[in-house]
Structure 1
Amino acid sequence: MGMAGPRDERWLDADAGRLVRPYTVSNGRTRPTTKLDLVSMVMSTGRVHQARLEPDHAQTLGLCAGPTTVAEVAAHLKLPVVVTKVLLSDLIDWGAVTTTSPGPVAGPSDRIVLEAVLNGLQRRL
């Protein structure tokens, strides 16, 4: 999933990290075709298999197995957000990933949200 395979070894250095400039990953593109925010949720549709994709797109798709935010994908890829958005946008265009915008922000008196937060905290403690 997020592991480097034999094809990727020449592009990775244990100390330096990725040896390819981030914008090379997106072919110099800085504008995704799909509007994505840091908190936009992305998830694989299961229609496109990782084996059919370039390594960076395959790795990105692997991170979208379950619902995750654009920010989380960028953090795992260790790439600038704009590059991550371009990769995700490509996957969306190809039907490999679906996206949803975050819902409306809840007010401080929204009882359902407050109960969900409380329940989540109680499960973690």
Structure 2
Amino acid sequence: MSREHEWVDEEAGPVVRPYAVARGRTRSSATSEIDLLASVVASGLPAPAKAELSVQHRRLLTGAGQSRPVVELAAELDLPVGVVRVLLGDLLHYGLVTVRPPVPKNTAATENLLREVINGLKAL
């Protein structure tokens, strides 16, 4: 039996505890807190030889092929957001992902601005 299947129960699914996935860490190694709505995208760089990437790290890199929010990646991987933040901190450290903060709400277009744009387009 391979080690990969050692932690899987057919009926219950994976039985590895979240703290084991994050190697006992509860905080990301990133310099700042990673926001739930921050966009994550893989940098496309190869992993350094010294990088110790787990299966979950690699799954996270695959999911980050396109720009996606942290919370969406966590849901897709079926991992707690705290664990995903820790794993993202590792990937950031190695330069394998880029994390962009969410767009502040006050810079979003207002309804009036959108109506003006629509009216301007109709006038063309």
Structure ID, larger Rg: 2
Is 2:20 the partner of 1:18?
no
Query: Structure 2 vs 1, CA of residues 111 and 44 (structure 1 numbering), >3 Å: closer, same or farther?
Result: same
Is 2:48 the partner of 1:33?
no
Question: Equivalent residue for 2:89?
Answer: 89
CA distance in 2, matches of 1:109, 1:63: 33
CA distance in 1, matches of 2:82, 2:112: 33
Given the two structures, how large is their TM-score scaled by the length of structure 1? 0.75
Query: Structure 2 vs 1, CA of residues 13 and 109 (structure 1 numbering), >3 Å: closer, same or farther?
Result: same
Question: Equivalent residue for 1:77?
Answer: 77
Identity in percent: 38
Gaps of 5+ in 2: 118-124
> Any conservation in 2 of the 1:41–1:101 contact (CA below 8 Å)?
yes
CA deviation digits over 1:16-67, x for unaligned, max 9?
Answer: 1111111101111111122211100000001135xx7321211111110000
CA distance in 2, matches of 1:110, 1:54: 48
CA distance in 1, matches of 2:112, 2:88: 32
Query: Structure 2 vs 1, CA of residues 92 and 109 (structure 1 numbering), >3 Å: closer, same or farther?
Result: same
Equivalent residue pairs, number: 109
CA distance in 2, matches of 1:7, 1:97: 27
CA distance in 2, matches of 1:30, 1:7: 25
Given the two structures, how large is their TM-score scaled by the length of structure 2? 0.76
Gaps of 5+ in 1: 1-5, 116-125
Query: Structure 2 vs 1, CA of residues 80 and 110 (structure 1 numbering), >3 Å: closer, same or farther?
Result: farther
